[in-house]
């Protein structure tokens, strides 16, 4: 009687050693927890996300500095990933235009499988490394751009294909993963490791890994926009006034910073073309909108520098 032995799986496909794939001792009785015990367990484990961000502070700061320099030279910030990681990049990119009044092309999110994968899982597409490079070629990547590859487990071929291509043309490559470097080495320009430990549900990186990744992307994009002059104090003075909520926010920012009555702030906002930063410069220096625009352009959009110009 003969027996059939399946071919051995390639070692490169074996991922059980990765931190993100391991079982969490704290949740070994997960299926026996009450609802309250589940909430408490999630809360306990999620504390690790804050510690992980603190441990990655230097790499996060380097990503902010490099990206700011690249965008000042006309570059773009492109996130790329698959599954949850890719969706988080798309989300962060989509939130930049309304928050900071950036052009949609400045910060982009690229997801394996495209827009369809936002609402319908296309996990198999992450295994094709050439597709990651192709997505960047389609967007005409240049040496001035920054590519942030996001992969919780660190091994996604789609992401590595993109980052290798980015390096080949001189673009800045940033790697974000939730596994230690000794498990998945990554010879890229900036290496960000967000080590939150095994998930409560083993291997489900939409949990802690997803949370800490969202935190990291918040820090990177907001940090870059602050350094680009999109913020004055802690106010989003480049907010896009596109609906009633954002118009109210813009008026409140003007009222808080100028001490003018709300009605005057609304008028000032209208005279500035719905641009809070311009309105502030007009008021503080008692100049016209065209003159304020000219001063801002001369200072690369930096309001504090423009205020120091007479």
Asked whether 90 and 109 are in contact (CB, 8 A), the reply is: yes
45 catalytic? Reply is no
Predicted confidence (pLDDT) at residue 188 exceeds the cutoff of 50 = yes
For residue 133, list its beta bridge partners: none
First to last CA, the chain: 94
For residues 100 and 71, give the distance between their C-alpha atoms in angstroms, rounded to a whole number.
14
CA 115 to chain centre: 18
Higher pLDDT, 230 or 15: 230
What DSSP designation does 140 have?
A: T
Predicted confidence (pLDDT) at residue 10 exceeds the cutoff of 50 = no
3-state helix, strand, coil in the chain (%, to 5): 55, 10, 35
* CB proximity list for 237: less than 8 A, separation 6 or greater: 230, 231, 253, 276, 277, 280, 303
Residue whose tokens read 């902010």:
64
Domains defined along the chain, listed by start: 27-227 (3.40.50.10490), 244-307 (1.10.8.1080)
Residue 127 confidence class, pLDDT cut points 50, 70, 90: confident
pLDDT, tens digit (0-9, with 9 covering 90-100), for 50-71? 999 999 999 999 999 999 999 9
> Assign residue 300 a region: left if phi > 0, alpha if psi is -120 to 50, beta otherwise?
left
Predicted confidence (pLDDT) at residue 5 exceeds the cutoff of 60 = no
Q: So what's the pLDDT on residue 16?
A: 67
9 catalytic? Reply is no
Q: How are strands ordered across the β-sheet holding 190-193? A: 107-111, 77-81, 146-150, 172-177, 190-193
Q: So what's the pLDDT on residue 2?
A: 36
For residues 28 and 262, give the distance between their C-alpha atoms in angstroms, rounded to a whole number.
57
Which one of 45, 126, 199, 293 is the catalytic residue?
Answer: 126
Q: What is the mean pLDDT of residues 117-137?
A: 82
Which one of 37, 45, 65, 95 is the catalytic residue?
Answer: 95
Residue 91, phi then psi, degrees to nearest 5: -60, -45
Mean pLDDT score of the chain, rounded to an integer?
Answer: 92
pLDDT, tens digit (0-9, with 9 covering 90-100), for 242-262? 999 999 999 999 999 999 999
Model pTM? 0.89
């Amino acid at each position: 009687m003969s027996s059939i032995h399946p071919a051995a799986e390639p070692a490169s496909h074996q991922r059980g050693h990765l931190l993100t794939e391991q079982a969490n001792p704290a949740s070994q009785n997960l299926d026996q927890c009450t609802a309250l015990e589940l909430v408490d367990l999630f809360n306990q484990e999620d504390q690790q996300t804050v510690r992980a961000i603190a441990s990655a502070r230097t790499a996060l700061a380097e990503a902010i500095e490099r990206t700011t320099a690249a965008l000042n030279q006309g570059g773009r910030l492109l996130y790329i990933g698959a599954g949850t990681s890719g969706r988080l990049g798309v989300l962060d990119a989509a939130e930049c235009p309304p928050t900071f009044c950036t052009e949609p092309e400045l910060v982009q999110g690229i997801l394996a499988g495209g827009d369809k994968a936002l609402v319908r899982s296309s996990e198999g597409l992450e295994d094709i490394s050439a597709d990651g490079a192709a997505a960047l070629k389609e967007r005409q990547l240049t040496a001035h751009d920054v590519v942030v590859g996001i992969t919780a487990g660190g091994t996604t071929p789609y992401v590595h294909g993109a980052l290798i291509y980015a390096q080949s043309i001189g673009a800045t490559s940033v790697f974000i993963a939730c596994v230690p470097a000794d498990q998945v080495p990554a010879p890229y320009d900036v290496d960000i490791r967000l080590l939150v430990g095994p998930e409560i549900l083993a291997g489900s990186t939409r949990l802690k890994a997803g949370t800490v990744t969202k935190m990291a992307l918040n820090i990177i994009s907001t940090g870059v926009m602050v350094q680009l002059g999109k913020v004055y104090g802690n106010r989003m003075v480049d907010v896009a006034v596109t609906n009633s909520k954002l118009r109210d926010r813009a008026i409140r920012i003007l009222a808080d910073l100028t001490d003018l009555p709300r009605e005057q702030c609304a008028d000032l906002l209208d005279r500035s073309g719905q641009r809070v930063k311009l309105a502030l410069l007009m008021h503080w220096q008692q100049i016209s909108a065209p003159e304020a625009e000219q001063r801002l352009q001369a200072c690369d959009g930096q309001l504090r520098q423009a205020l120091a110009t007479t």
